[in-house]
A and B are shown apart, each in its own frame.
Chain A
Amino acid sequence: MSPLDLPPDLRSRLRGIAIAPRRPAMLGGAGVHASRNRGGGMEFAQYRAYEQGDEPRLIDWKLYARSDKFFVRDAERESPVVIWMVIDASASMAQADLARPEWSRFDAARQLAACLMQIALAQGDRFGLIVESAADPLILAPGSGARHRDRIALALARATPAGAADWARHANSLGERIGTADVAIVLSDGFDEELIAMIERLAASGRDLRLIRILTGDERDFPFDRGYRFRDAESGASLLGGSGQRDAFLARFAAARAALDTRLDARGIAHAEHFIDGRADAPIARIAGGARAR
């Protein structure tokens, strides 16, 4: 199953979720954010030539009658909110569970991204993508509509996690991209101290950053019964271990997670944990900041 194809039950649960900006005061005078395709923001921008894929109802038929050419009224809607999806594509995201080796942390991140796009589409917000990997970050500028979703889905489908992301290096460029009115949702395992530091820095500068920490089921259950050599794909370090380490690891890992929770809470950063064998809508609902009024 591709992580970008959302199963119907997940789709229906996502319909109840809306992503609200933390500061509604930052909205322009366009009214309530939750309103869709109504009010301001819909103003004529330009005519442009018809491209394949444009919806026929967008064609200006009167202009067609005059010019015998298809023109589309490019009604650029100035949605006040951009939902940024910042995806960690470092090598640790390739980790998968023993029980389900074909479903990696990165697949879970892509599924979450697909869910976020679904929500953004539903509420008419623009959305953009930043994939942070060892190479230069892949940035898809904000846009809206189903075609933009497909473009992002294509980029996501091609991306593969590798190497170690250098968050500190790109922190400034990310800060430039993400506006103060935007919502940036970071999808990462959260093990990288530089990532947390960058999030704190951006949050301190007034950006609305939210973090979904994607953890594997193995990190929760530690089901390693025999001898294993554990390897950190980013640093290359490895360690022999097995079932004897289970209790100590679970205790230390829980403590580390709790410490990170406290740290993020102190900075006002909304955060949630998502286990890759769990439901994708639950962490989104926790960081969404509001449920849509039906």
Chain B
Amino acid sequence: MNPALLFPAALAALAALAIPIVIHIARRTETRMVDFAALRWLDPRPQPRRRLRIDERLLLALRLLLLAAVALWLARPVFWGVAGEARVVAVAPGLTPPTIAADARGVWLAQGFPLLESTPPASSASITSLIRQLDAELPRETELELIVPPLLDGVDAERPRLSRAAIWRVAEGARPAPAATPTPLALLVRHDAGGRAALRYLRAAAIAWAGDARPAFAADSTDTPIPDDTRLLAWLAEGPMPERVVRWIEAGGTALVDPRAALAMREDARVVWRDDESRPIATESPLGRGRIVRLLRAIEPASMPVLLEPDFPDQLARVIAPPPPPARVAASEHAPVAGLAPWPQPPFDLRPWLAIVIALLFAIERWLATSARRAAAP
């Protein structure tokens, strides 16, 4: 534990110590006039008294102490390297909390790391991120024990790297049910007369996506409004896009746009689909919360041979509805590794405690200064 000052320049406030000293000395020169008829028997040259006379030394000492404490408070005193608790047990929410040893602190792996005694919070943060934060917030000597469910969701591709060798325990618990079979992609097409020829390829792709189920495919003219639950829209029309369609995209939709549509080329558009010869087929650019996948070639086999390929539906699906990256792992395979440089711990701030001392000193000073026993007040 090393005491230190984060802002030593504030110690210049110690100059204020002179104020109470001056107050307590200056009182001496203030003399009271008193009638005294027997003046002639007084020694006209009184022997010099002590050069410095301080009145009410206790009160002065208290005031000096108070000012010194305030100056110290301004200088932001801290303790570096305060020893933390010996052991922290972090339990992922949803697990039954185990019994914790007396010298250990049990917390939930959730935002704010609430104590295990509290009700388990609903966590939405990534468990890997929480583990990293907990590791960074703990002093180097503290042992960290992590209790996690058998399956972890939302993890990174890499095992988390911590600054300490954490104890990784996988709780025995029910594995979460596998995700339900995904519903096939639903594709809504809006086309004008020129786009009618492309409908057959898109319909074929939708049928291929559905497999044995009923394909979710609907095509209509550009005037028809777009239903609210639509996720994917193919816009096969010439000319500028109507305002309502743009708004729908900005609200979070994904639009596959024909090259005939008049659409400003955006700087951040990136190529997401290339043919075998590495020539671009489609670019993707964000728009509001949604995105636009723009085909660069007309939807006809002559300019887009991929239409005739057997894996065209898969390629199209990968472009317009890319699968989420894998984020689930067996916890036993995801134990964190040590080796990260320790995170510097923030020093222990003494100011709140000092503030209490200051308030206490001030109360005592006021009590002494205003008590009825005092005759005259400096």
User: Please, which residue of chain B has its CB at the minimum distance from the CB of A192?
Assistant: B37
Q: Are A234 and B37 in contact (CB under 8 A)?
A: yes
Distance to closest chain B CB from A242 (angstroms): 7
Residues B16-33 near A (CB distance < 8 A)? 28-33
Chain B: residues with Cβ within 8 Å of the partner, total of 21
Instruction: Tell me which of A231, A245, A248, A253 contacts B33 (CB under 8 A).
Output: A231
A150 to B94, CA, bound (A): 104
List chain B residues, Cβ under 8 A from A235: 39
Q: Are B43 and A228 in contact (CB under 8 A)?
A: no
Query: Assuming the A-B contacts A239-B44, A241-B42, A249-B41, are A227 and B29 also in contact, with contact meaning beta carbons closer than 8 angstroms in the complex?
Result: yes
Q: Are A252 and B41 in contact (CB under 8 A)?
A: yes
A96 to B44, CA, bound (A): 22
Q: Are A227 and B31 in contact (CB under 8 A)?
A: yes
Among B34, B40, B44, the most chain A Cβ lie within 10 Å of the Cβ of B34
Q: Are A253 and B41 in contact (CB under 8 A)?
A: yes
Distance to closest chain A CB from B9 (angstroms): 40
A1 to B251, CA, bound (A): 96
Residues B257-293 near A (CB distance < 8 A)? none
Q: Are A231 and B42 in contact (CB under 8 A)?
A: no
- Digitize A231-268: 1 where CB-to-B-CB distance is under 8 Å, 0 elsewhere: 11111011111101100110011001000000000000
User: Please, which residue of chain A has its CB at the minimum distance from the CB of B32?
Assistant: A228
User: Please, which residue of chain B has its CB at the minimum distance from the CB of A98?
Assistant: B34
A240 to B39, CA, bound (A): 11
List chain A residues, Cβ under 8 A from B31: 226-229, 240
B2 at the interface (CB under 8 A from A): no
Q: Are B38 and A229 in contact (CB under 8 A)?
A: no
List chain A residues, Cβ under 8 A from B244: none
Query: Assuming the A-B contacts A240-B46, A244-B46, A256-B41, are A227 and B30 also in contact, with contact meaning beta carbons closer than 8 angstroms in the complex?
Result: yes
In the complex, the 6 A-B pairs of residues with the closest C-beta atoms, listed nearest first: A92-B37, A230-B36, A227-B31, A232-B39, A252-B41, A95-B35
- Pick 11 A–B contacts, CB within 8 A, sort by A: A95-B37, A227-B32, A228-B32, A228-B34, A231-B39, A232-B40, A234-B37, A235-B39, A242-B49, A245-B47, A249-B42
Which A residues fall within an 8 A CB radius of B?
92, 94-96, 98, 105, 189, 191, 218-219, 224, 226-235, 237-242, 244-245, 248-249, 252-253, 256
Which B residues fall within an 8 A CB radius of A?
28-44, 46-49
